[in-house]
Amino acid sequence: MMTKRFAERKETMDIVVTSPALRAKTTATIFAKELGLELPRELQELYLASAATLLATVQAFPKSVKSAMVVGHNPGLSLLADDLAEGGLGDLPTCALIRIDFNADTWSEVSNGTGKLEWWDTPKQS
């Protein structure tokens, strides 16, 4: 359901990275396959990662990456999203999707408060 809703938005995705945890990896793989993307890159450091570790991962994306999907765990992902988009999101439920845009030339410029929440969607939204 969430992959279909994501596809309806006609979003592009250059890279999908995921925690090695089975549920995260399975979710990331489903998204990649359904959207016709390369299989996700499994990053050990994303397992139960803090917001700071997740931010460092994002900041390390190469300049060639214009859009990315990060699949991982709470509370780290919720805290990161809240920090980047300047609050108001709270806890993201399982399989929530959010898009945050940045006015930055490189991923290394991404930091807390530099993002703009474009949209978010959860399985319980209609």
pLDDT of 87: 73
pLDDT of 12: 87
Instruction: Supply the DSSP string of 3-58, one letter for each residue.
Output: HHHHHHTT---SEEEE-SSHHHHHHHHHHHHHHTPPPPEE-GGGTT--HHHHHHHH
Measure the CA–CA gap between 44 and 64, rounded to whole angstroms.
Answer: 22
**Span 48-52, average pLDDT:** 97
**Res 8 pLDDT > 70:** yes
pTM for the model: 0.92
Q: Where does 2-121 sit in CATH, by number?
A: 3.40.50.1240
pLDDT of 126: 64
Measure the CA–CA gap between 33 and 51, rounded to whole angstroms.
Answer: 27
Give me the residue spans of the domains in the chain. Answer: 2-121
**How does pLDDT run across 53-83, given as a tens digit for each residue?**
999 999 999 999 999 999 999 999 999 999 9
**How does pLDDT run across 115-124, given as a tens digit for each residue?**
999 999 999 9
Two tokens at 117? 């929440």
